[in-house]
Amino acid sequence: MTQRITVVPVEGRTVPDPEAGDLLPVEGRQVTFNAWWQRRQNDGDITLQTEQSTTTHQAFTA
């Protein structure tokens, strides 16, 4: 299974997205984690955006 991550370019950086064929938008994008994105992170070009769970838990009463 491939890992999906959300990456955001560091302020002032333009980062190509080879999968989409364009530049990574300022608000970030969900991508498949691979060596390309690992190198961008190591070089300080991107940050990983932590995703907050949007699911809610409901109590069921019988």
pLDDT band at 2 (very low <50, low <70, confident <90, very high): confident
CA dihedral 32, 28, 7, 2 (to 10 degrees): -20
pLDDT at 50: 79
Q: Which residues contact 48 (CB under 8 A, 6 or more apart)?
A: 5, 6, 7, 8, 41
Q: How far is CA 46 from the centre of its chain?
A: 9
The string of pLDDT tens digits covering residues 3-55 is 999 999 999 999 999 999 999 999 999 999 999 999 999 999 999 997 654 44
Sequence spans of domains, the chain: 4-49
Joined together, the tokens standing for residue 41 give 């992170």
pTM of the complete model = 0.76
